[in-house]
Amino acid sequence: MSAPRHIAVIDIGKTNAKVALVDLATLREVSLRRVANAPVRQARYPHHDVEALWAFILDSLADLNREQTIDAVSITTHGATGALVEASGELVLPVLDYEFDGPEELAAEYDAIRPPFAETGTPRLPLGLNLGAQFFWQQKRFPTEFARATAMLMYPQYWALRLTGIAANEVTSLGCHTDLWNPWKADFSAMIDRLGWRALMAPVRPARDRLGPLLPALAERTGLDPRTPVFCGLHDSNASLLPHLLADAPPFSVVSTGTWVVSMSVSGRSVALDPACDTLVNVNALGDPVPSARFMGGREFSVLTDDQPENWTEDDVGAVLAKRTLLLPSTQQGSGPFPHHAAAWLNADGMNSGQRFAAISFYLALMSATCLDLIGADGPTIVEGPFARNRLFVGMLAAATARSVVASEAATGTSIGAALLASDKAEAHGKGLRQEPPVDPALTDYASTWRAAVEGRG
């Protein structure tokens, strides 16, 4: 086959699942299918509806292939998720939803055996946000089923297994606050051997590896060429980072926005990461450690706006800046730079919907600026994902960081990065508008007021 051009990217986010068709010649999405992704809250514990997702994936591949012949398939998913499979490839237990609090039952026991932050760059997180805690809880609560497992897979590679029949793992998902990976030694953490899990870990392969062709039955089901290669895949925030690693000169940072807003610093200032503020060490697609910080900004945006369309005027913005209408953290507690702060509004009496939207956008930008500061970010900041289209967010982020911000043009930055796994070229995709730090003192004064109010709460 000739060099692949049209790449179908399976992109499983926590809130939505997508299959995007990316044209490598233009590095743009040319078609997209999307479906809501909600956990099933029944049976043994809340879990991902993998069969519904599988039907969506196959239908989308078939549909997109009728529009344009698909040359290759790549995969990206959210983190903190893994699968336990038996020799046949079938799940031995449902794929656990990381927002389920079951693993907290064994928190004390797990804390006694998990590796320190210095070894893994993984902070201790609540619920099932540490994948190691999920697997530990499953082993303790369902020992018979766990004993049938022949492989532990990260979530992107679970879908790769279903597509190719080949079991693998990959470092961006292993290195995403799992407790399972030592990013400095490029090997599994000591906990893996303490728990006897090393034999269960499928072979670690690069994100850019062609695992194999599509299984024949799936080629027939979707209409794809049976020789269509499937790439190993990677974690979604690292997919957003990859195009910039390949083409941009450091230092720079990337803010990947979705359910989670994940900030990643490349060649920034040297700082000591504080695990209590939800900073961590990610591992990029090239295998290198990346200082990172995050908060659940997309979820906060959905809750705060009730998913209503953007609707504001310049007068609304002026009123918010003049009155110092502030939203203080955190709407979603338990993670982010202020995990124990309860959200509060200041000077918000009488605000209309447009003013509320502006204040929410400013809040999300200031939280992102806080995350960037915690990881020593330097140079321009590239915003990927939905928030790149929010002009208020981008402007306040430039004001709060005093550095330029580039709003990516890609509808889904993760899809572009995942598609690049199929390319040998190191080309940057369309960057979009560049916002320089504004000269308007009202924005910088607002940012200073917000920071002082947050610090005043302790």
135: nearest Cα among 194, 75, 95: 95
Mean pLDDT of 241-255: 91
Terminal Cα-to-Cα distance of the chain (whole angstroms): 61
Mean pLDDT of 230-237: 95
As a whole number of angstroms, the distance between CA 416 and CA 9 comes to: 8
Whole-number pLDDT of residue 141: 98
As a whole number of angstroms, the distance between CA 413 and CA 191 comes to: 33
Model pTM?
0.87
Fold (topology level) of 6-232: Nucleotidyltransferase; domain 5 (3.30.420)
Q: Which two tokens stand for residue 49?
A: 């509806």
Whole-number pLDDT of residue 427: 55
What residue has token string 């994936």? 57
Domain with residues 237-456, CATH architecture: 2-Layer Sandwich (3.30)
**92 pLDDT exceeds 80?**
yes
Burial, 19: exposed, middle or buried (Cβ in 10 Å; 0-12, 13-18, 19+)?
A: buried
**DSSP secondary structure code for residue 102 in this structure:** G
Give the pLDDT confidence of 149-192 residue by residue, as tens digits. 999 999 999 999 999 999 999 999 999 999 999 999 999 999 99
E-state strands within 369-451: 381-384, 405-407, 434-435
**Is pLDDT larger for residue 381 or for residue 3?**
381
82: nearest Cα among 163, 29, 146, 17: 146
As a whole number of angstroms, the distance between CA 68 and CA 29 comes to: 12
As a whole number of angstroms, the distance between CA 337 and CA 314 comes to: 30
Residues of the chain with CATH 3.30.420.40: 6-232, 237-456
